[in-house]
Structure 1
Amino acid sequence: MSCLICAGQAESVECASGWEERRCSVCGWYRMSQSLILAMMEEGQIFDTERMRAWLVCRRQLMPIPTIDASQAILAP
C-alpha cells in the first residue's frame, strides 16, 4: 500500500467506514477521508508533502492519529 501524502511505502490500517488510515515510516500514522481522496484524484491535486508532514507533527500534540479532511488538506499549487 502507498502513503496518501508522499506516495511512499505505507501500511494500511483498518478503520471506520469513510476513512483511509495509513502508517508511513516518514509521514507517520494518520487517517484521511475517502471523500477528500476522491476529490483530489478527480482534480489531479497532490499534497504539499513537507507542509502536510509539519501539520501532522503539530496535530499529534492534540491527538495520536490526526484526521485529514478537505478543511485540513494542504495541497500543492
Structure 2
Amino acid sequence: MNCLICVRAAERIECDGPWEERDCPECGRYRVADALILTLMEQGQIFDVSKTRSWLDSRRKNGNVPSIEIHQALLLP
C-alpha cells in the first residue's frame, strides 16, 4: 500500500467510517476522508508534502491520529 501524501510504501490501517488510514515511515500515521481522496483523483490534485507533514505534526501533539477532511486539505494545482 502507498502513502496518500508522499506515495512511498506505507501500512494500511483498518479503521471505521469513511476514512483511509495509513502509517508511513516519513509522514507518520494519519487518516484521510474518502471524499477528499475522490476529489483529489477527480481534479488531478496532490498534497503539498512538506506543508501536509507539518500540519499533521502540529495535530499529533494532542496524542490522537490526525484526520484530514476535505475542508482542511492543502492542494496543489
What is the TM-score with the length of structure 1 in the denominator?
A: 0.95
Structure 2 alignment gaps of length 5 or more: none
Which residue is equivalent to 2:39? Answer: 39
Which residue is equivalent to 1:58? Answer: 58
Which residue is equivalent to 1:29? Answer: 29
Give the AA of the match of 1:15: C
- Count of aligned positions: 77
With 5-14 and 60-69 compared, the bigger mean Cα shift is at 60-69
Q: Which has the higher helix share?
A: 2
Q: Give the fraction of aligned pairs with identical amino acids, expressed as a percent.
A: 51
Rounded to whole Å, the distance in 2 between the matches of 1:25 and 1:37 is 20
Q: Over aligned residue pairs, what C-alpha RMSD do you find? A: 0.9
| CA displacement 1:1-48 (0-9 Å, x = unmatched) | 000000000000000131000000000000110010001100000000
